[in-house]
Every structure is written in C-alpha cells, then in structure tokens.
Amino acid sequence: MDLLSRHAKYKQRSYETSRDRHIPELRSRPDEPSVVLLGDSMIERMITTGLSPSFLPWPSASMVSDDVIAQHNNSASGPALHRLEGVFNAGVGGDKIENLVYRLVGSTDVDRPLDSLLDLLRQRKVRVWVLHVGTNNLHPKRGLKEKHLDLLRLVVGALLEAGGRVLLVGLFRRRDVGDDLVGEATEGYRRIAREFEARESGRVEFVEPSEVEMDRCLEDHVHLNEEGYRVWGEMLMKRVLAAVDDSRAS
C-alpha cells in the first residue's frame, strides 16, 4: 500500500465524509459489508437521488422497482433477481482517483488523522467491489491521462489484495466532455480489466456504463437523475448479483 499512498491527495469533503460517515458506519457493522460501492458522486448519489442508503436492501425500489424484479423473475430469462443485504456505499462527490486513494489509505497527518478505509474493509469478507471513479479527472479537451489509468490500476490491485472481485465501471456520457474523450477513457478501463483478467482469472470484470439519454437521464452536466439511476440500477443489480454468486461458488 506504500506505492498507493504516494498518490493520495487530501480533499476536505473526502476527509470529512470518511471520518464522519463512512468509518463510523463500518464500525457500527462489524460483520458487514459483503458488497462495497466505491467512487465518486455517481456512487454517492445512489443514497440521495437513488434513495438507497448503506446497509438497507440494495438497490432501492426507486432504482429497481418490485414490478421490474417480478417481471424479470417471471420471465425466467436468467438468474432470479433479489435485493442484497450488507451493501456499503463509500462514494464521495467530487472525488478524483487520487482523492479516493486518500480515503483508502488514510492519513497520519497530526492535524487531520484519518483511518484507512481499506484496512477496515480488508478485515471484512467483501465479496464484490463496485468501482466508479475517474470522471472528475476527465479534462474537457484532453480527456483522461495515462497517469490516471496507471493510478486506477494500482487501486484495482489494492482492492484485489484485500479480497473479493472488482467490477470496474466505465465512465458515463456527460454534457461538458465530448463523447470521443469519454469513450477513449472507457476503453482504457476496458483494457485495465483485460490485463487483470489475464492474471486474476474471473476476479476483475469491466462493466459497460449504461447508455443514458442525456436529456432524459441527466440532472445537470454529469449527474444522473432518478430515471438515470433506474436505467443504471437494473443493469448493475444483475452484474453485482452474478459476481456475488460467482464469489460464493469459487
């Protein structure tokens, strides 16, 4: 984790959210979580826009309705869907990859000490990590730099060392960055997943971001609205359930 620590970058909101919400939540649930949602505002806003707080059955009915689950299960078109217990949301709005690293590794700064989220979680039996981060590293004209992909590799590797499987989610379309740059970044994510798959068979999967219609699914230039979380929720639910089942079978 020393190599990862070199890239950690303090952000006040990252520090305060981890100190005041995430770490106390984890300490109050010593036997959980089994699934960790990790990343930026796309993850964090599942709590607010998606009405799906940590440790309540996930995803919420706002993200995936009971009717959608029943229709899927009645159609017999794949494994049955059901809501998961023990899902921990560790998203922080505005986080860049280096801010997420800061939360994962913690800090020994005497003025701002912070426990390592990763150290706390490696003591639990995390089966699946859902990782969405990097959209705040996107430059509107230059996209994502190779150094950001290199850091993302380190994050994925650290999660694997802690145990479980990683679902690496590509970046969603946004109004202020061209689709070509978002697509190039997402291709980089896909490449990272392939690299890990070659070494860690079955433990890292790339998850294509849901195809969202910006006029219908975005609240502003980047954030999903309720409809956006419904579009993403059903797809993500299926992938997370499949990954949890695979982890139990292995």
Number of compact structural domains in the chain: 1
> How, if at all, do strands 87-91 and 128-132 pair?
unpaired
Cβ burial, residue 226 (10 Å; 0-12/13-18/19+): middle
Cα separations in angstroms, 217 against 20, 70, 116, 224, 230: 31, 24, 34, 6, 9
Is there a cis peptide before residue 59, judged by omega within 30 degrees of 0?
yes
Q: What is the arithmetic mean of pLDDT over 123-151? A: 97
Range of the domain at 39: 2-249
What value does the mean pLDDT of the chain take?
A: 95
Answer for the pair 35, 88: CB distance below 8 angstroms, yes or no: yes
Phi, psi of 165 (to 5 degrees): -115, 155
Q: What is the mean pLDDT of residues 221-245?
A: 96
**Of 98, 93, 109, nearest to 21 (Cα)?**
93
pLDDT surpassing 90 at residue 3: no
Question: What is the CATH number for 175?
Answer: 3.40.50.1110
Which tens digit of pLDDT belongs to each residue from 76-104?
777 899 999 999 999 999 999 999 999 99
Confidence of residue 212 (pLDDT cuts 50, 70, 90): confident
**Which residues are paired to 35 by β-bridges?**
87, 128
| HSE (side-chain half, CA atoms, 13 Å) at 122 | 13
